[in-house]
């Protein structure tokens, strides 16, 4: 592990200058500069002082944090093909994230799963065709066509249906993930 790089990364993340970190950890600016450039090594006690100021435990400081990918290619997607619909998870393992984007494709007459009321929000963008959002709780229907968007809170039970004779596709993003 690159200790100096990790210290600098956490210092910057905490919006601290070298001077501020030095003052709060009761170390010299020069010593911290040498640490960040890996010109010297800290004792365990000194590293504990630094991590305390940075708001992180020694355990978490040394935890191997793998960089999460930010670009996903078609080969990364997970596709769930059913008779009248296809759900494509565009971000692998998105259920651990704050939001979950999927590409939904509905054949004529197809219906998505029903969404029970939950504490969250949803966004949809129609790429092709027409869809109808059915609010079961309020007994309302909202029709969307290509290029239109939907933004709703998860307060009401609802589902989406393609009641046309053509296929429809839309991006559906939920926060928190519900798929």
Segment 44-66, tens digit of pLDDT? 999 999 999 999 999 889 887 66
Mention every residue, 6+ apart, whose C-beta is less than 8 A from residue 25: 32, 49, 50, 52, 53
Cα(57)–Cα(74) distance, integer angstroms: 38
Q: Does residue 153 sit in helix, strand or coil?
A: strand
Q: List the structure tokens of 168.
A: 């429809």
Q: Which residues contact 10 (CB under 8 A, 6 or more apart)?
A: 51, 54, 56, 61
- Tell me the two tokens of residue 142: 């909202």
Q: Are 53 and 47 in contact (CB under 8 A)?
A: no
Residue 151 Cα distances to 24, 102, 146, 148, 168, angstroms: 46, 15, 15, 10, 18
Q: What pTM does this model have?
A: 0.65
Domains parsed from the chain with CATH numbers: 3-62 (1.10.260.40), 74-175 (2.60.120.10)
Q: Torsions phi, psi of 131, nearest 5?
A: -135, 160
Per residue in 77-106, pLDDT (tens digit) is 999 999 999 999 999 888 788 999 999 999
**Cβ atoms of residues 174 and 120 within 8 Å:** yes
Q: What is the per-residue pLDDT across 123-167, written as a single tens digit (0 to 9) for each?
A: 999 999 999 999 999 999 999 999 999 999 999 999 999 999 999
Token pair of 51 as six digits = 């991590």
Q: What confidence score (pLDDT) does residue 151 get?
A: 96
Peptide bond into 176 cis (omega under 30): yes
Query: What's the order of all strands across the beta sheet hosting 149-153?
Result: 78-81, 85-89, 100-106, 168-175, 121-128, 149-153
């Amino acid at each position: 592990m690159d200790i100096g790089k990790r210290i600098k990364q956490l210092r910057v993340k905490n919006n601290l200058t070298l001077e501020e970190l030095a003052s709060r950890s009761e170390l010299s600016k020069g010593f911290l500069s040498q640490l960040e450039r890996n010109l010297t090594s800290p004792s365990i006690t000194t590293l504990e002082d630094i991590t305390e100021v940075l708001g992180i435990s020694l355990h978490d400081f040394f935890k191997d944090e793998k960089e999460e990918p930010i670009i996903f290619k078609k080969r990364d997607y997970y596709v769930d093909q059913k008779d009248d619909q296809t759900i494509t998870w565009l971000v692998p393992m998105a259920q651990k994230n704050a939001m979950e984007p999927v590409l939904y494709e509905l054949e004529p007459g197809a219906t998505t799963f029903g969404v029970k009321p939950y504490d969250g929000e949803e966004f949809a963008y129609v790429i092709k065709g027409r869809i109808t959002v059915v609010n079961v709780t309020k007994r309302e229907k909202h029709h969307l066509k290509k290029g239109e968007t939907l933004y709703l809170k998860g307060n009401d039970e609802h589902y989406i249906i393609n009641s046309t004779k053509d296929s429809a596709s839309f991006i559906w993003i939920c926060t928190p993930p519900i798929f």
